Structure 1
């Protein structure tokens, strides 16, 4: 997996949303299982907010965050210095599909969040995660199911779903709406976590399968979402990637108008469904 297989930009217009993620939300299903001396590997750590959060729960242990982009790792390391995080967290360049630079059985927990859905071979990834996990340890993952659920579902948001889906998964030329695809292709990520894990050799009887959700329902939440994702839509790199998937200039404008209209609507509502998995080694 090269950096170019990650189809979303590492520009701050994208990573600012990632930096708002916390261990208390994104790893809530994992936190009760942690011990203070655990060694944790966070794959696809991005700007590192979850990584730093996990470090607070293993103060006698250590958390290593890896990503394939040096650009985003700079942001992660800056986050350590500005947040006053402890000395038990480090960030390193790493590519899971090329093979991790760690010996077998190195970590008590190997974790990822919103990472497997961006990787072209999630089964191979899970096998490599298992290799570096200690016997008796845990693989933990949280992945969104796409597309998202909106009300009202205006034309701009329909286009947003289509082209966001296409930039991530490379679905034809972007003209096929994901909701018109068979279920096995339309929904990608969370609902397939346990399937990928079984195909990677994990015992289904040793899996803890769960479901999480995230909603944007209040005016304040909608305002944050619109502000964050409008900047992403206005970013030149995002526009280019959507254009490559078939989005016209007018459709790009319509996506932005639709997002803003949804944000202003008193009935505006959006939810994301997440699959959550702990698989014991």
Structure 2
């Protein structure tokens, strides 16, 4: 998702980007939401991307419905393709274009659950977005947000991974930084998005006493896990447009080549790992 003025997602929708997103599932990435659903729940998945979480929700609400929205028809086409090839294909899942900052097309109190995963960090006004999510949420329902508390933690933090972290941050947040992440970056462009979700929720009108705030770490420690993380990133850099976006922000050709080389070294390093802490916040209306 993006602002009303910017209809593009800065990482783009090349399949090397969305392939990593398509690995996400409701069972894993929305596990904190599932106990709060009923068979008849109506769910809105905002920033659904290629739709794998959205589709997964369908099995948990057999008498309900799931609507996935995103900005670009390019990624919605990928989501619909995922739906058409899913076996069995749920009949209660649909995908539509929508922009939460421009105002959602749905009436007040339309959904039992509104869900986002790694979306608020891409929205320039997360409080306004959450306020709109609250509007379409039914009384007694909830808005659930899963957000990474960036940056990633790596071992070993090779020079190429430092360059990767710097330019990925600048590409996503639109601000410049050195190789070290700023500890006092301004709201809402701070690196600690996950730590701010409940704050933004309070500012959007949710009662703190009706919030559940938890966290879960995602770790890549085996070669298979490192490969699953790094190979899509290499694809983005080489053919998915991310290398071009890094160079637009000042990276040299040699910098991008070093990122690719060090990602490959990191995959093969028996001690290599990364960790990302995700905040998982449920806000009741």
TM range (shorter): over 0.9
- Residue 21 of structure 2: aligned partner: 18
Aligned length: 279
Q: Kindly indicate whether residue 276 of structure 2 is the aligned counterpart of residue 265 of structure 1.
A: no
2: CA distance between counterparts of 1:219 and 1:280? 40
Q: In the TM superposition, what is the alpha-carbon distance from 1:177 to its structure 2 partner?
A: 3.0
Structure 1 range deviating more: 129-138 or 221-230: 221-230
Match of 1:27 among 27, 30, 35: 30
1: CA distance between counterparts of 2:106 and 2:143? 16
Q: In the TM superposition, what is the alpha-carbon distance from 1:88 to its structure 2 partner?
A: 0.2
2:15–2:240 Cα contact (<8 Å) kept: no
- Residue 233 of structure 2: aligned partner: 229
TM-score by length of 1: 0.96
- Residue 117 of structure 1: aligned partner: 121
1:206–1:280 Cα contact (<8 Å) kept: yes
Q: In the TM superposition, what is the alpha-carbon distance from 1:41 to its structure 2 partner?
A: 0.2
TM-score by length of 2: 0.94
* SS of equivalent to 1:29: coil
Deviation per residue, 1:121-175 (Å, 9 max, x gap): 0000000000000011000010111110000001000001001111000112xx5
Pick closer, same or farther for the CA change 1:178–1:193 going to 2, 3 Å.
farther
2: CA distance between counterparts of 1:265 and 1:4? 39
- What does residue range 70-109 of structure 1 map to in structure 2 within 5 Å? 70-84=73-87, 85-109=89-113
1:47–1:73 Cα contact (<8 Å) kept: yes
Match of 1:153 among 157, 170, 178: 157
Match of 1:42 among 42, 45, 49: 45
Match of 2:219 among 215, 218, 226: 215
* SS of equivalent to 1:96: coil
* SS of equivalent to 2:152: strand
- Residue 176 of structure 1: aligned partner: 178
The structure carrying a bigger helix percent of its residues is 1
Gaps of 5+ in 1: none
2: CA distance between counterparts of 1:102 and 1:186? 31
Q: Superposition RMSD on alpha carbons, in Å? A: 1.4
Gaps of 5+ in 2: none
Q: In the TM superposition, what is the alpha-carbon distance from 1:120 to its structure 2 partner?
A: 0.5
Q: In the TM superposition, what is the alpha-carbon distance from 1:219 to its structure 2 partner?
A: 1.0
